[in-house]
Amino acid sequence: MELPNILIIAGIALILAGLLWQFGSKLGLGSLPGDIKIEKENFRFYFPLTTSILISIVLSLLFLLYNFFSHKF
């Protein structure tokens, strides 16, 4: 795969990630049970553990399906 194609795919992936970030909060992503939130007086820590795992599973399934169907034809 050539560099321009890689850059186009990376750009599309960034756009999709931005849309998911924007509309995902309305669907509850980022505030699932298991996401770690620690808020104190002058300190805030947030780690979306469950959200990250969920997104990883969905992306893995999408890439698996893409790989499966791209080698069939």
Q: What is the mean pLDDT of residues 47-70?
A: 88
DSSP code of residue 43: -
Q: Can you point out the beta strands (E) in 1-73?
A: 36-39, 44-47
Confidence label for 70 from pLDDT (cuts 50, 70 and 90): confident
Q: What is the mean pLDDT of residues 17-46?
A: 86
25's tokens: 């909060």
Query: Distance between CA 46 and CA 42 in Å, rounded?
Result: 14
